[in-house]
């Protein structure tokens, strides 16, 4: 992920686990906007210092694990495949 100041967008690459993700940030929070859901509902995000993730729409804390320099986020099974969830990562 390329970090831009002022809340600019950048697009995620193939490292996102088959998903298409765009990013923006405000302060210490990175927002991952998932425009294409990963087939296995596991989102691999290149945020090396993050430790938590929550679904912005509901405030639900999402299960996470670290994998090298990435944060792997488990998306809820009940989330429709056509939705465009926003994940707040810290």
- Render pLDDT for 55-67 as a digit per residue (tens, 0 to 9): 999 999 999 999 8
Average confidence (pLDDT) over 70-88? 94
State yes or no: pLDDT of 71 exceeds 80: yes
Torsions phi, psi for 10 (to 5 deg): -140, 150
CA-nearest of 10, 20, 11, 15 to 67 is: 15
pLDDT at 36: 92
What DSSP state is assigned to residue 76? P
Q: Which residues pair with 11 in a beta bridge?
A: 22
How many CA atoms are closer than 13 Å to the CA of 19, on its beta-carbon side? 31
| Opening angle at CA 82, ends 67 and 25, nearest 5 | 50
């Amino acid at each position: 992920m390329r970090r831009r100041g002022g809340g600019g967008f950048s697009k995620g690459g193939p490292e996102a686990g088959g998903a298409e993700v765009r990013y923006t940030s405000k302060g210490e929070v990175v927002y991952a906007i998932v425009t294409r859901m990963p087939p296995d509902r596991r989102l691999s995000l290149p945020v090396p210092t993050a430790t938590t993730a929550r679904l912005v729409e509901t405030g639900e804390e999402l299960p996470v694990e670290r994998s090298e320099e990435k944060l792997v986020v488990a998306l809820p099974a009940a989330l429709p495949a056509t939705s465009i969830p926003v994940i707040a990562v810290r």
